[in-house]
Structure 1
Amino acid sequence: MKLPNIITALRICFIPLVVLMFYLPVENNLYYTAGIFALAAWTDWLDGFLARKLNQTTAFGAFLDPVADKLMVAVSLGLLIESHASLLMTIPALIIIGREIVISALREWMAELGKRASIAVSMIGKAKTTLQMLAIFILLTQAPDTQIAWAGMAVLYVSVILTIWSMVQYLKAAWPDLKSGM
């Protein structure tokens, strides 16, 4: 197993630690939770950097990396839905999670057609992921209804706009194949 893939797998291992720290009744648990999340988010950049730098890109890594990201984001958003217990948090979280399911299914279908490259990750998708990670980090550090939490919500809503925009781009790119498969 190559180092970038080990780092990606490590990101998945951070997920239970985020959940555990979130619920542990210790002082400053939200900061520790956000710190673990930030470390995991940083590994998303690191594994890609190392894969390219060391010329260790693999099909397994290309599969596992987005899975790790989606798991980390979905689990963290689930924690935030519970802690905020608010429609303002639930709606963007469900849009993000729903989009990830749709695009994952689309990528799988396009791969079966041998056209996965036609829906490769775009710069909007990378910006979306970066803003989602930033928003989640901010929101994990704060109890609901603080000024910083509201700033995190603003970043989350911007990420939702990019989430929808990137989904539309992917669907447009795949539309000819979707249409012919109906």
Structure 2
Amino acid sequence: MSTAAAPGRILNIPNILTLLRIAAIPVLCVLLLSPSREAGFWAAALFAAASVTDWLDGYLARRMGIETVFGKFLDPIADKLIVMAALIMILPYDRVPAWMVLVILGREIIITGLRGIASTEGIVISASVLGKFKTIFQLVAIIGLLLHYDYRWFFGIDHPMLVVNMHNAGMFYLWIATVITIWSGVDYLAKFMKLIAK
């Protein structure tokens, strides 16, 4: 077996991508200390790049056959940390309702706790398709909320039909993400209770 494929090797490409995603969090927070358009743009670009690495690290780990316990542990933590950081940092600018942030973060904390309890009992509850949709809508919503301002996406033409208010777009997707967050949380809790009862 090659060194790169050794299951115990921590510093492989997927895990490095995950660590880079965690390293991006303080940079994201520093950018979001300012509510300016420029800071929001670069924060959105950084968040989007981090979101791509979220997909890429999992894909590479499976493709290269180098999935590790360290990676399986760290990857979901990195995802939750960067989402939490982005939402908390824009709270003071009233770009997102506090109750939505509470619901989203509360769900993640509860489900993480339930997974920990289940794992100690040797129970594995597979992720549902709802969780995947929740993540997608959350990421799209946060990018919109970070951009926040009006953007002219068609060659800079200033026409009402060609100008998109990114805050409104972000809130549209955040509402969907919040509904799916509650739905998937209830679904996971039901699965957990059913398996524990057995």
Q: Is the 8 A contact 2:137 2:177 kept in 1?
A: yes
* Matches for 1:156-175 after TM superposition, within 5 Å: 156-175=174-193
**Moved >4 Å (runs of 4+):** 24-27, 177-180
- In structure 2, relative to structure 1, the CA distance for the partners of 1:27 and 1:161 (3 Å cut) is closer
1:56-88 alpha-carbon deviations (Å, 9 max, x no partner): 111111111100000001111101212116xx6
Range 126-135 or range 16-25, more displaced:
16-25
In the aligned structure 1, how far is the partner of 2:189 from the partner of 2:34? Answer: 41
Q: Which runs of 5+ in 1 are unaligned?
A: none
Q: Normalising by structure 2, what TM-score? A: 0.82
SS at match of 2:32: helix
1:37 aligns with 2:47: yes
Matched with 2:135 is: 129
1:142 aligns with 2:157: no
Matched with 2:12 is: 2
1:123-158 alpha-carbon deviations (Å, 9 max, x no partner): 1101101110110011001159x8321121110010
Q: How far has the Cα of 1:176 moved from its partner?
A: 3.1
Q: Is the 8 A contact 2:142 2:174 kept in 1?
A: yes
Q: Is the 8 A contact 2:32 2:90 kept in 1?
A: no
Q: Is the 8 A contact 1:21 1:29 kept in 2?
A: yes
- Give the number of the structure whose alpha-carbon radius of gyration is greater: 2
Please point out which of 71, 84, 105 is paired with 2:113: 105
Identity %: 39
Question: What is the aligned-residue RMSD (CA, Å)?
Answer: 2.0
- In structure 2, relative to structure 1, the CA distance for the partners of 1:25 and 1:169 (3 Å cut) is closer
- In structure 2, relative to structure 1, the CA distance for the partners of 1:27 and 1:84 (3 Å cut) is closer
